[in-house]
Amino acid sequence: MDATDQAKNVANQRSKDGEPATPDRRKDRLIRIKSVLARTGLSVATVYRRESAGTFPKRLQIGVRSVAWYESDIEEFVANPMDYRQRLS
């Protein structure tokens, strides 16, 4: 099972009360902006603009001046970029 299949499985899982399950992030890799750009083919400006609009995964602050994205979130976006929406948490 690759990262795309894992992302789809997590998105389809439901908790006991019917709410979407929170993905288990313990084994998920964090990737930096260069990898995100290479995988998506988007520009830096487009990544940040789409993130603000809710149509791209949110970044995580991992340091004072560094951010990263969960690899599974990027794979989920790449699998279907036109229909991607951030999960409500």
Question: What domains, with CATH codes, occur in the chain?
Answer: 3-18+29-83 (1.10.1660)
pLDDT exceeds 60 at position 18: no
Secondary structure (3-state) at 11 = helix
pLDDT for res 35 = 97
pLDDT for res 43 = 97
Note whether 68 and 59 are within 8 A (CB): yes
Distance, in Å, from the CA atom of 42 to the CA atom of 50, rounded to the nearest integer, reads: 10
72 — pLDDT class (breaks 50, 70, 90)? very high
* Non-local CB neighbours of 43 within 8 Å, separated by 6+ positions: 37
CA torsion sign for 10, 11, 13, 18 is positive
pLDDT exceeds 60 at position 14: no
86 — pLDDT class (breaks 50, 70, 90)? confident
pLDDT exceeds 70 at position 51: yes
Q: What 8-state DSSP symbol labels residue 18?
A: S
